[in-house]
Amino acid sequence: MPFLSQGIGNKLKLFISLVFIFIYTSPLYSITGYVRYADASFCMDDCSIYYLEDEYGEFLTWITHLSDVDMLAVFTNRFVEIEGEEVWCIECGAIDVESIEISNECEFPVDCFADPCTVEFCSEFPEAECVPNYCDGCWADYYLNEELLDCNIQTDCIDLTEIDFGDCDMVLGIGWINENCEYISGCDWVADGIDYSIAFYDSMENCSEACENALAPETVTYTLQPGWDLIGLPVIIENSSYQVLFPNSFGETLFSFNEGYLQEEFLQPGVGYWLRFQLDEMIVITGTHLDELTITLSEGWNLISGLNQITNVNNIIDLNNIVISGTIFGYMDGYQNVSQLVPGKSYWVRANQSGTIQIYIE
C-alpha cells in the first residue's frame, strides 16, 4: 500500500504541475494583418503604439516589441505574419512580437500599372534581390541573404524648420525641426513645389543618427553668361524661386520640358530648366545635399539635372534600358554630347519609353 500511495502521489504532483504550466504559460500567438501606427491611444505605453488591422479595416490586437518597439516602424502599413506571446504594459496588453515577416497572402491584392521592382531601386544595396508585393500597395521589397532591407533610410539630414506642410493632422513622419527630431504633421510631403518625402524617417533612432551634428551646408557655384542656359538645382533649399536664386535673370523665362515647354517659378532637384540671364556673374547657392535622385522620364526627349557631384553617365541606373545610347546632351554655345553630369547644369536625355532612372552618390 505505501508503494501504491507513493505512485498516486507522484501522479498527483505531475497532474498539478501540468495544470500549473497550462494556466501560467502564455500561449504563442500566430496572426496576420496590416501593421498600423496609432496616432493616439488612451494607454500611452509601449503596448499601444502599433496594432494589427484585418483586411476589412477592423482592429485585431495591439502589438509591440518591448526590447525595441521602433523596429516595427519599417512594417507600418504592410501585411505581415507575426508570432509572439501576450504581455501587459502599464495600462494595455499586446502581443510581444518574436518574429515578423512580410506576407503576400492577403485576400485583396491591388492592381499595379507595372511590376514595382521595375520602377524602384535600392541604391543603398544595389546587389539586393527585389520581390514585388501587392498587399495594400505596389511594394518593392529588397532582401539580402534572406533579410529584409530598409531602402528608405535617409542617411543625410534635411532641416525642415519653417517649411510649411499645411494645416492638417496627417502624420507625415519624423523629421529634423528646431534642432530636434520630432513627429511632423501636414497635408502633403510636397511644399513650395519640392517633394520632401526623403527627409522623413521611420524612427527616432534613424533620425537622431542622421541629424545630430550632421547638418553641414553644401554649396553649388554657377558661372553665368548673358543669354539662355540649361540649369538645375542639386541641393534642397527653403525657397527655390528662380527670382530669389538668380535675381538678375529675365522674368518669366524659367522653362521645364514635358512634351512641350512649361513656364515655372520654382526649381526642383532632378528637373532641368532653360533660364535666360542678363549679366556675366557668379552665383553661389547653399543648401542641403542629396545622396540620390529618382527621375521619371517620358518617351522622347526630357530635361534632367543631377546631384552636387560630377556623375559619369555610365553610372546612371537604368534598369529597363530606356535611355537611348548617345543621347545625353549639354549646352554651351551649342549642344554637345556629354559623358558626365556637372552640378548645376541640366541635360537633354532621350528615352525609348516611359520609366524611371536613378542617380546616386556612391
State pLDDT tens for residues 301-334: 999 999 988 999 988 999 899 999 999 999 988 8
DSSP SS3 for 3? helix
**How high is the pLDDT of residue 158?**
81
Residues across the chain? 362
Kind and range of the H or E element at 8?
helix 2-24
**How high is the pLDDT of residue 170?**
87
Does 9 have pLDDT greater than 80? no
* Domains and their CATH numbers in the chain: 28-102 (2.40.50), 116-148 (no CATH), 171-211 (no CATH), 218-360 (no CATH)
pLDDT-derived band at 2 (thresholds 50, 70, 90) equals very low
pLDDT-derived band at 140 (thresholds 50, 70, 90) equals confident
pLDDT-derived band at 243 (thresholds 50, 70, 90) equals very high
CA dist., res. 174 & res. 196, Å (int): 12
**How high is the pLDDT of residue 268?**
93
Name the percent of the chain lying above pLDDT 70.
88
Mean pLDDT to the nearest integer, 265-291: 91
**How high is the pLDDT of residue 17?**
47
On the 0-12 / 13-18 / 19+ scale of CB atoms within 10 A, 234 is buried
Q: Identify the CA nearest to 356 among candidates 329, 317, 324, 301.
A: 317
DSSP state for residue 140 in the 8-state scheme? E
**How high is the pLDDT of residue 23?**
39
* Strand duo 93-102 + 59-64: pairing: parallel
pTM for this structure? 0.48
